[in-house]
Structure 1
Amino acid sequence: MFRIWGKIIKDNKMKKDQTILNETDDTRTHKIFDAVYEMCDNWDLSKPIWLDSNISEFKELSKTRFGQDNFIENIDFDYLEIQVIEE
């Protein structure tokens, strides 16, 4: 079982959150991307761009934040945070 938790944060308050469960035999990377894309589709957001800082942070902590620099369109929140909560 693989679960990832996504949160939209604005002014230090959680505005939205969602947990995505993936029980497929995909690779960990595919499960992460699929979960992020599903969250973005559900919240009507563009897909974030993974910068080197996001990749290294996620590898180390299984958690990262996507701010305005990660989105092509303007966002009306401070950041989107994703975290693996079960592998």
Structure 2
Amino acid sequence: MIRLWGKLMKGHKIAEQKTLTINAEKMDYSLFYGYISELCHALDCPTPVIIKTHIFNFAKFNFVKFVKSDFVEKFDYDSLVVEYIKD
């Protein structure tokens, strides 16, 4: 089971947070956009544009940070941080 922790940051503080549980043994990076989209829907925020660098950073460091410039729609927070929670 995989768990992702999404945090909406405003002024270096967590404004909102949610966890997403994925029923899989390993992380499937071809479905990464779907995971982020589902997490953003739960947080009630727009989905960011995901580029290859975001996926590489998540795979290497177990977290990724999306800033305002990664969003096409209006984003009212400073950043969206998604972390992989190890059990």
Please report the TM-score for the alignment, with normalisation by the length of structure 1: 0.82
SS of residue paired to 2:58: helix
Tell me, yes or no, if the aligned pair for 1:51 and 1:70 is still in contact at 8 Å.
no
Task: Note the C-alpha offset of 1:41.
Answer: 1.2
Q: Which residue is equivalent to 1:73? A: 73
Please report the TM-score for the alignment, with normalisation by the length of structure 2: 0.82
Structure 1 residues without counterparts, runs of 5 or longer: none
Structure 2 residues without counterparts, runs of 5 or longer: none
**Which has the higher mean CA deviation after the structures are superposed, 21-30 or 66-75?**
21-30
Verify: 1:85 aligned to 2:81, yes or no: no
Displacement over 3 Å in runs of 4+:
24-27
Number of equivalent positions: 86
Q: Cα RMSD between the aligned structures?
A: 2.0
SS of residue paired to 1:17: strand
